[in-house]
């Protein structure tokens, strides 16, 4: 059951105060009183009433002055005020409204009219309170959303927008905590980039990189990959972390093939400008330890394990236009792609030769 509405009666005449207090108390209202304008303002700060019945003629600070002070205070700007007077109601009503009063009653007070005015103004105040609460709720939500946007902005340095939203909403575990998961890793870089960077003007190099990064980044986001790093012309992307995704190996292959096709188009434009550049990719699947790597103020999101080394070595071995994968990957995507054997390659960091395949195309494509 909610607390009764609280009404403050401000009047320097004791009999008037008692009459109003008894009447309102009988109707179930909580009543507090004040014998002067100054005391009334103190009671407003202390008691936080829902409505004020304010006598006009009082020594010192009259009712109009009190009403103005109430309206000047942001905390009481919408507090209902009913002014009460025995003076000429025509003239006093205008003064009261100009001072900020909500309603006006003349003495002797008509009790049914008083109670009706009180009920009406209390309903209005209840609506105002609901609006204020709604505004507070909206402000809180806006603050929370701003905080989420700031956090999402940081997360988007590492993750696709879809994954960042999952993390911020709490639907994914803390991705920066070290954990172990099976992932598909894609390494890619431009063939001939080192020689190009040594001979071209810096502005030309930056122009090529901007075109390349923009197109590759779009495809990473489109396939919901996680960009682990990019260094100049090289990139590392992995799938199935921080949030598991369906068919990570298939996503990786489709992304890499789309990248190869897009770089083929870019390379045609580059060659017209005298830049001889091409593209190579290495993809591997396996378990890695994943989490935050770095120090306070500079964190990266990294994956460590044999799978990342294998993808990097395969990328290093790829000839222009090749997309190299290991035999383990073939078992996962053999129904998806046409692939040709490359042979057994001795890769740095691996004690035994690795059986490698080049992905030519998706099955059924020209």
Q: Is residue 347 part of a domain?
A: yes
- Mark whether 128 and 220 lie in a shared domain: no
- Mark whether 130 and 197 lie in a shared domain: no
- Mark whether 213 and 345 lie in a shared domain: yes
Tell me the whole-structure pTM to 2 decimals.
0.58
Q: Are 185 and 283 in contact (CB under 8 A)?
A: yes
- Mark whether 205 and 354 lie in a shared domain: yes
Q: Does position 143 have pLDDT exceeding 80, yes or no?
A: no
Q: Does position 298 have pLDDT exceeding 70, yes or no?
A: no
Q: Is residue 167 part of a domain?
A: no
Average pLDDT of the residues in 301-327: 92
Confidence of residue 141 (pLDDT cuts 50, 70, 90): confident
pLDDT at residue 86, as a whole number: 75
Domain termination residue (choose one: 76, 103, 134) = 134
Domain termination residue (choose one: 134, 154, 184) = 134
- Mark whether 223 and 348 lie in a shared domain: yes
Q: Is residue 152 part of a domain?
A: no
Find the radius of gyration of the CA atoms of the chain. 38
pLDDT at residue 279, as a whole number: 93
pLDDT at residue 358, as a whole number: 96
Phi/psi of residue 129, nearest 5 degrees: -60, -40
- Mark whether 93 and 209 lie in a shared domain: no
State the CATH number of the domain containing residue 228: 3.30.70.1230
Q: Is residue 102 part of a domain?
A: yes
Pick from 36, 24, 26, 33: nearest CA to 62:
36
Q: Is residue 146 part of a domain?
A: no
Q: Is residue 92 part of a domain?
A: yes
- How crowded is the C-beta side of 253, counted as CA atoms within 13 Å? 25
- Mark whether 94 and 221 lie in a shared domain: no
Residue range 260-296, pLDDT digits in tens: 999 999 999 999 999 999 999 999 999 999 887 777 6
- Per the structure block, which two tokens stand in for 24? 């309102």
- Mark whether 99 and 244 lie in a shared domain: no
Q: Does position 172 have pLDDT exceeding 60, yes or no?
A: no
Give me the percent of the chain exceeding a pLDDT of 90.
48
Cα–Cα distance, 342 to 350 (Å, whole number): 17
Range of the domain at 179: 175-362
- Mark whether 101 and 196 lie in a shared domain: no
- Mark whether 182 and 243 lie in a shared domain: yes
Ranked by mean pLDDT, the top range of 49-58, 124-133, 162-171 is: 49-58
- Mark whether 108 and 220 lie in a shared domain: no
- Mark whether 184 and 292 lie in a shared domain: yes
Beta carbons within 8 Å of 283's beta carbon, 6+ residues apart? 184, 185, 186, 187, 249, 252, 253, 256, 311, 314, 323, 324, 325, 329, 359
pLDDT at residue 293, as a whole number: 77
Domains: count for the chain? 2
Domain termination residue (choose one: 101, 134, 167) = 134
State the CATH number of the domain containing residue 89: 3.40.50.2300
Average pLDDT of the residues in 1-19: 86
């Amino acid at each position: 059951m909610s607390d009764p509405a609280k009404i403050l009666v401000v009047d320097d005449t004791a009999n008037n105060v008692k009459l109003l207090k008894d009447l309102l108390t009988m109707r179930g209202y909580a009543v507090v009183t004040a014998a002067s304008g100054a005391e009334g303002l103190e009671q407003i700060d202390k008691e936080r009433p829902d409505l004020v019945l304010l006598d006009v003629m009082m020594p010192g600070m009259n009712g109009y002055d009190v009403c103005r002070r109430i309206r000047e205070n942001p905390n009481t700007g919408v507090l209902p005020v009913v002014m009460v007077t025995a003076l000429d109601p025509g003239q006093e009503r205008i003064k009261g409204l100009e001072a900020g009063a909500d309603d006006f009653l003349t003495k002797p007070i008509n009790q049914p009219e008083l109670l009706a005015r009180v009920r009406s103004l209390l309903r209005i105040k209840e609506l105002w309170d609901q609006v204020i609460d709604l505004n507070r709720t909206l402000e809180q939500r806006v603050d929370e959303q701003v905080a989420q946007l700031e956090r999402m902005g940081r997360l988007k340095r590492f993750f696709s927008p879809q994954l960042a939203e999952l993390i911020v909403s709490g639907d994914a575990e803390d991705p920066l905590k070290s954990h172990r998961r099976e992932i598909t890793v894609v390494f890619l870089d431009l063939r001939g980039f080192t020689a190009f960077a040594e001979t071209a003007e810096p502005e030309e190099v930056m122009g090529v990189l901007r075109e390349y990064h923009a197109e590759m980044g779009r495809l990473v986001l489109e396939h919901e990959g996680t960009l682990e790093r990019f260094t100049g012309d090289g990139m590392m992307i992995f799938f199935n972390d921080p949030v598991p995704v369906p068919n990570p190996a298939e996503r990786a292959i489709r992304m890499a093939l789309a990248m190869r096709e897009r770089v083929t188009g870019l390379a045609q434009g580059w060659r017209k400008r005298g830049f001889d550049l091409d593209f190579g990719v290495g993809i591997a699947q396996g378990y890695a330890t994943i989490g935050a790597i770095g120090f306070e103020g500079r964190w990266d999101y990294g994956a460590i394990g044999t799978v990342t080394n294998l993808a990097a070595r395969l990328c290093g071995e790829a000839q222009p236009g090749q997309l190299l994968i290991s035999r383990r990957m073939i078992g996962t995507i053999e129904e998806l792609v046409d692939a040709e054997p490359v042979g057994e390659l001795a890769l740095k960091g691996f004690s035994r030769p690795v059986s490698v395949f080049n992905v030519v195309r998706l099955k059924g494509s020209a």
